[in-house]
């Protein structure tokens, strides 16, 4: 079961449960984006460049070409990588792993989509833009949580 919402130029995905056909199969979210990151080049954990309190318990990756940048954040430690050009993969469940059943078991993913603008930001794969910094901060340390 999942929810997908879009706001402020980001896509938020909330995975609440996963039904697996077999326990020894991994569950992976594969995102196809129109970014030409040659040979699957990506930058690992760009969220660590933003000052947060929960950053060490997350995972993230960013890919970029001359026109666009895509950053994917997860609310848990997992594998986020780009196996080939224009693809980002997030490991939801590893082999023989079951989905957590407690309240902390909800897995959140944020996808930040942005145009490259070298005039206003020192925006590289390694360094987040001012917009991405705000969106990362909001994901990691939200001002308010609504239940």
Q: What is the pLDDT of residues 10-35, one digit of tens each?
A: 999 999 888 777 777 888 999 999 88
Range of weakest confidence among 37-41, 60-64, 67-71, 100-104: 100-104
3 state DSSP class of 53: coil
pTM of the model: 0.84
**Residue 106, token pair as written in the block:** 């909800």
Q: Where does residue 111 rank: exposed (0-12), middle (13-18), buried (19+ CB within 10 A)?
A: buried
Residues 6+ apart with CB under 8 A from 49: 126, 127, 128
Q: Which runs of E-coded beta strand occur in the chain?
A: 2-7, 10-15, 27-32, 43-44, 59-64, 68-74, 80-81, 87-93, 107-115
- Please give the Cα distance from 144 to 55 (Å, whole number): 17
């Amino acid at each position: 079961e999942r929810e997908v919402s879009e706001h402020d130029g980001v896509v938020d995905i909330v995975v609440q449960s996963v039904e697996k056909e077999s326990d020894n199969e991994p569950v992976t979210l594969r995102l196809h984006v129109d970014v030409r990151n040659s040979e699957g080049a990506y930058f690992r954990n760009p969220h660590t460049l933003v000052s947060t309190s929960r950053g060490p318990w997350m995972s993230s990756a960013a890919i970029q070409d001359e026109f666009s940048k895509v950053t994917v954040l997860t609310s848990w430690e997992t594998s986020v990588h780009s196996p080939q050009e224009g693809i980002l993969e997030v490991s939801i469940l590893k082999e023989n792993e079951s989905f957590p059943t407690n309240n902390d078991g909800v897995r959140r993913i944020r996808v930040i989509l942005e145009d490259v603008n070298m005039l206003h930001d020192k925006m590289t794969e390694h360094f987040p833009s001012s917009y991405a910094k705000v969106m990362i901060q909001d994901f990691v340390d939200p001002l308010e949580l609504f239940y």
